[in-house]
Amino acid sequence: MSLSRPTGGGRTEEAESSEYCVLGGAVGAAVADQLRADGHSVELVDATADADDAGDDPLSAFDDDALAAASTVVVATRSDSRNLLLAQQVSTRFEADQILVLVHDPVRLAPFAAAGHDPVCVTSALTRTVIEEL
């Protein structure tokens, strides 16, 4: 799956420059670093901080401006349930053109896709790569 976002979504040409907001811990930081190395504008939000203090609003600790400006949001924490919850909150509160969500358990790919997100499963990608190399 490519990290390029689809065209459209009502954004202006000026806003077409790649702007990403990455929510996550170590994996999110690695994704943000690679996007920056590729010349993209990236805001990294540590989605593991204050995870227990968020209460009913899991996005309350995050920078709304960073999320509102992002055309693509990548959600990549260590927890599938947290990733799904964050992705759902982002999709209902912000106008991101694309929401990529890390899925750890391949069994959960279909529900994430059914929720309207673009799931990325490391286990599935690694499996495909190993089989192609055999």
Tell whether 1 is covered by a domain: no
Asked if the structure places residue 3 within a domain, the reply is no
Report how many domains make up the chain.
1
Residue 4 within a domain: no
Q: How confident is the model at residue 14 (pLDDT cuts 50, 70, 90)?
A: very low
Judged by average pLDDT, the poorest of 4-18, 37-51, 61-75 is: 4-18
Query: Is residue 101 included in any domain, yes or no?
Result: yes
How many angstroms separate the CA atoms of 100 and 117, rounded?
A: 6
Residue 10 domain-assigned?
Answer: no
Residue 11 burial (CB count, 10 A): 15
On whether the CB atoms of residues 20 and 70 are closer than 8 A, the answer is yes
Q: Which domain does 77 fall in, by range?
A: 17-133
Q: What are phi and psi of 110, to 5 degrees?
A: -60, -45
Question: Of how many residues is the chain composed?
Answer: 134
Q: What is the pLDDT of residues 23-52, one digit of tens each?
A: 888 888 999 999 999 999 998 887 766 555
Q: Is residue 9 situated within a structural domain? A: no
| Residue 8 backbone dihedrals phi, psi, to 5 degrees | 95, -155
